[in-house]
């Protein structure tokens, strides 16, 4: 293979991999559109152009993760672990989780929608200030919970605790809160666990966990390095239901 062609062939391989990953989604949509609904695709040229952009964007995004976010997260984990300061590690984990979550577009959208629904139901005031306050409370509750979750996950890696004890205990708390939380907040709480795992949070947090487990003596990256994302999905449910109990009282009463 000639040297001038090598970069272009590598780019083509990225595009091929991205197209392969998108193929099942495209196939399902095409089958339902053409065989079930029996309707042609509207604006087919625009759709094909959009798909090409998605393939290109996905290929560049995945390559960017490999080149930047994963190495950066692991490198910071190595450097912080070598300092040997527990509080610096915990504060970094908390701030990383909080900062990457509070500005997450999906979380902002869910919080605004939840505020509008609560206003329509009469649970909060219908004015703009009341909706904004409710949405901000949800956002910061979720962001704080993710920060707490990442800090706890970092502490677990340092201590070598089995992950399943914390996960089981967390879901016991979730079930208990479900029994006393306002009914209107329960669905939002469960959904909030999904919107926190964003395209920036996941690679950085995963790299942080693997990096810490790799540099700390006696830790196995395969066993101890993963699980931070599970914490980041679990604790928002607890904190949001707790926020609902605090704002509306037990059972919303």
Judgement on whether residues 119 and 180 belong to the same structural domain of the protein = yes
pTM here is 0.77
State the total domains in the chain. Answer: 2
Decide if 122 is inside a domain: yes
Judgement on whether residues 109 and 59 belong to the same structural domain of the protein = no
Judgement on whether residues 62 and 139 belong to the same structural domain of the protein = no
C-beta pairs of 164-167 under 8 Å, 24+ apart in sequence: 166/231, 167/227, 167/230, 167/234
Decide if 74 is inside a domain: no
Judgement on whether residues 27 and 137 belong to the same structural domain of the protein = no
Judgement on whether residues 114 and 225 belong to the same structural domain of the protein = yes
Judgement on whether residues 39 and 103 belong to the same structural domain of the protein = no
What burial class does residue 189 get, using C-beta atoms within 10 Å of its C-beta: 0-12 exposed, 13-18 middle, 19+ buried? buried
How confident is the model at residue 152, as a pLDDT?
Answer: 94
Decide if 90 is inside a domain: yes
How confident is the model at residue 252, as a pLDDT?
Answer: 59
Last-in-domain residue among 38, 67, 96: 67
How confident is the model at residue 8, as a pLDDT?
Answer: 79
Decide if 72 is inside a domain: no
Is the Cβ–Cβ distance between 116 and 131 less than 8 Å?
yes
Judgement on whether residues 2 and 121 belong to the same structural domain of the protein = no
Judgement on whether residues 95 and 53 belong to the same structural domain of the protein = no
Judgement on whether residues 124 and 43 belong to the same structural domain of the protein = no
Concatenating the DSSP letter of every residue in the chain gives --GGGHHHHHHHHHHHHHHHHHHHHHHHHHHIIIIIS--PPTTHHHHHHHHHHHHHHHHHHHHHIIIIIHHHHHHHHHHHHHHT-HHHHHHHHHHHHHHHHHT-HHHHHHHHHHHHHHHHTTSS-SSHHHHHHHHHHHHHHHHHHHHHHHHHHHHHHHHT--HHHHHHHHHHHHHHHHHHS-HHHHHHHHHHHHHTS-TTHHHHHHHHHHHHHHHSTT--HHHHS--HHHHHHHHHHHHHHHHHHHHH-GGG-
Decide if 139 is inside a domain: yes
How confident is the model at residue 3, as a pLDDT?
Answer: 65
Residue 215: closest CA among 90, 84, 86, 82? 82
How confident is the model at residue 1, as a pLDDT?
Answer: 52
Judgement on whether residues 137 and 197 belong to the same structural domain of the protein = yes
Judgement on whether residues 101 and 47 belong to the same structural domain of the protein = no
Along the 253 residues of the chain, how does pLDDT read in single tens digits?
Answer: 566 777 777 888 888 888 898 899 889 998 998 888 888 888 888 988 999 998 998 888 888 878 887 787 778 777 887 877 889 889 988 998 898 888 777 788 888 888 888 888 777 777 888 888 888 888 898 999 999 999 999 999 988 889 999 999 999 999 999 999 888 788 888 888 887 776 767 888 888 888 888 888 888 888 888 888 899 899 999 998 988 888 777 765 5
Tokens of 170: 């967390």
- Domain of 192? 84-252
Last-in-domain residue among 11, 33, 67: 67
Judgement on whether residues 122 and 217 belong to the same structural domain of the protein = yes
Is the Cβ–Cβ distance between 182 and 245 less than 8 Å?
yes
């Amino acid at each position: 293979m000639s040297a001038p062609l090598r970069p272009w062939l590598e780019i083509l391989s990225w595009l091929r991999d991205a197209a392969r990953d998108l193929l099942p989604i495209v196939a399902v949509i095409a089958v339902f559109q053409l065989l079930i609904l029996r309707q042609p695709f509207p604006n087919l040229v625009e759709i094909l152009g959009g798909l090409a952009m998605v393939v290109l964007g996905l290929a560049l995004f995945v390559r960017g993760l490999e080149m930047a976010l994963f190495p950066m997260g692991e490198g910071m984990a190595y450097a912080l672990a070598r300092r040997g300061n527990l509080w610096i590690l915990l504060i970094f984990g908390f701030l990383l989780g909080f900062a990457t979550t509070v500005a997450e577009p999906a979380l902002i959208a869910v919080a605004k929608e939840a505020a509008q629904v609560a206003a329509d139901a009469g649970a909060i005031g219908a004015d703009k200030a009341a909706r904004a306050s409710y949405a901000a409370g949800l956002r910061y509750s979720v962001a704080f919970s993710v920060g707490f979750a990442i800090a706890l996950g970092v502490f677990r890696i340092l201590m070598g605790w089995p992950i399943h004890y914390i996960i089981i205990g967390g879901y016991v708390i979730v079930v208990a809160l479900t029994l006393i939380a306002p009914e209107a907040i329960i669905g939002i709480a469960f959904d909030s666990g999904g919107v926190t795992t964003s395209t920036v949070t996941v690679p950085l947090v995963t790299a942080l966990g693997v990096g810490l487990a790799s540099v700390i003596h006696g830790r196995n990256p395969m066993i101890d390095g993963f699980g931070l994302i599970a914490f980041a999905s679990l604790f928002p449910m607890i904190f949001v239901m707790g926020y609902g109990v605090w704002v509306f009282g037990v059972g919303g009463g």
